[in-house]
Structure 1
Amino acid sequence: MKAPLVAFLRLAFSLLTLGAMGWQLAIHLGGGYSIINFFSYFTNLSNFFAALVLLFGAIQFFARKETAGPGDLLRAASVVNMSVVGIVFAVLLRNVDLGALLPWVNFVLHTLMPCVVVLDWLLQPPTAKLGRRQLLQVLVFPAVYLAYTLLRGSSTGWYPYPFLNPAHAGGYGGVAAYSIGITLTFVFAALLLFAIGNKLSKAPAAASHP
């Protein structure tokens, strides 16, 4: 796919996502809900980050910068997070009551954007080979998020997802089981996307990161 079209699509999907999140945030705040809770959803954080990564890539192209887009590590983190957002929603949350979440916003955040970000990764693979160090760096944010969610939930009684709430997951044993399963999903998604990205990358083996 030609670079101008890729840049335009990145801009369009970035603005669509930011608009969807802004619309939902306005409804959220209008209902008296906490803005901290809104940004305590992994889906919202991941979509916001993905939208910024796409936007940055589009801006760089239209500004005629020499670099092709945002750094490989940022794109790698975005694609891994968004792929897991799509998987977890499809497996664990598709039939869960999502409250005031608008159906079209739900579609954009949980279905459309995961597909868009993965497709962007495939069409524009990383410029350099990615290795173990980058893999570990990508997995830092999900680990920190999980720790934050469990610690905050234990003190406030509010959890963004039912499978992380001991009252709905069969106690802390259930939470641990879900956490392990999701962690393995992150690792598998990262390994698969890194392998595909490295295979599609035109960078020579000598440019590979350690």
Structure 2
Amino acid sequence: MPSGNHRLFAAAAALLGWFALVVQLYLSIQLTRSNGDGAWAGVWIYFGFFTILTNLLVACALTAAALGPRGPISRTFGRPGVHTCIAMSIVVVSALYNVLLRQLWHPEGWQLVADVILHDVMPVLFLLHWWLAVPKTSLRWRQIGFWQLYPAAYFVYVLARGAVNDWYPYPFLDVSKLGYAQVCIDACAVLLAFIAVACALLALGRRQTRITHR
């Protein structure tokens, strides 16, 4: 159970995460409205990005940690396995963005603020929270496979969305340009990154547990 100081940290980090998510939603809507596509097009695009969905999970997990187990949703997000799955996902978000995507555009103003918070600041804050406040004695190696259901479900979600309006959020998942075969190869490579990060986090968590209980 997080201490009072950890709960304050989680609350502050959650507020920052929610702030960046709201700013990004506003900017997405403003962009599509300026292009004549309307507000709902901005909402549609907003919820197509793995970065947004994962940061929503991060903000929910931090909020749950700050409030404590006050209901079934809060208790679910407070589970060590759920926290570790989210940690895995936000680490991959940051890594893929900084390695593959950052050089593709140059945001300015509030877009730059949201971009840095969502891709750089929140991953660090959530990992720090995970390391300091999340108990890890219940983590097991077999959970790694279960954690991959989230990125796998997102992949299916992206393909389904793309089949509707031929829009893909990331270049390496763009079926219209790469074809399904190449996109599936890209997805498998990304899945290996998820598994590698999950293994690293679980190994770190188990090592932390051993040191703590000496």
TM-score using structure 1 length: 0.84
Could you tell me which of 111, 124, 129 is aligned with 1:120?
A: 129
Deviations 1:34-74 (A, max 9, x none): 3122112100010011011011101119xxxxx9x811122
SS, match of residue 40 in structure 1: coil
Where in structure 2 are the equivalents of 1:67-82 lying within 5 Å? Answer: 70-82=78-90
- Which amino acid in 2 is paired with 1:120? H
2:58 counterpart residue number: 50
User: Do the aligned residues in 1 keep the contact of 2:141 with 2:202 (CA within 8 Å)?
Assistant: no
Match of 2:163 in 1: 154
* Contact residue 27 and residue 111 of structure 2 kept, 8 A: no
**Contact 2:168/2:175 (<8 A) preserved:** no
User: C-alpha distance in 2, partners of 1:23/1:110?
Assistant: 14
CA distance in 1, matches of 2:44, 2:107: 17
- Alpha-carbon contact 2:148-2:195 (below 8 Å) kept: yes
Unmatched 5+ stretches in structure 2: 34-40, 70-74
Match of 1:207 in 2: none
- 2:36 match: none
Structure 1 stretches of at least 4 aligned residues deviating more than 4 Å after TM superposition: 98-101
Aligned partner of 2:96: which letter? V
Partner of 1:208: none
Matches of 1:197 and 1:41, distance apart in 2: 28
Contact preservation (8 Å) 2:30, 2:42: no
Structure 1 residue aligned with 2:201, among 187, 193, 208?
193
Give the conservation status (yes or no) of the 8 Å contact 1:164–1:179.
yes
TM-superposed CA distance for 1:98, in Å, is: 6.6
Question: How many pairs are equivalent?
Answer: 197
Q: Measure, in 2, the Cα distance between the counterparts of 1:72 and 1:17.
A: 20
Whole-angstrom CA distance in 2 between matches of 1:175 and 1:98? 25
Counterpart in the other structure of 2:20: 20
State the Cα distance separating 1:99 from its structure 2 match.
6.7
- Distance apart, 1:160 and its partner CA: 0.9
Partner of 1:91: 99
Matched, 1:163 2:172: yes
- Say if 2:83 and 2:134, in contact at 8 Å, map to a contact too: no
Which runs of no fewer than 5 residues in structure 1 stay unpaired? Answer: 62-66, 205-210
* Paired position in structure 2 for 1:36: 44
Distance 1:201 1:74 in 2: 17
Q: CA deviation at 1:119?
A: 1.8
Equivalent pair of 2:172/2:183 in contact (CA under 8 Å): yes
Q: 1:108 aligns with which of 96, 101, 117?
A: 117
Instruction: Find the counterpart in structure 1 of residue 148 from structure 2.
Output: 139
**2:3 matched residue in structure 1:** 3
Question: How far, CA to CA, are the matches of 1:34 and 1:24 in structure 2?
Answer: 10
| Contact in 2 for aligned 1:129/1:201 (Cα 8 Å) | no
Following the alignment from structure 1 to structure 2, what is the Cα–Cα distance between the partners of residues 11 and 154? 39
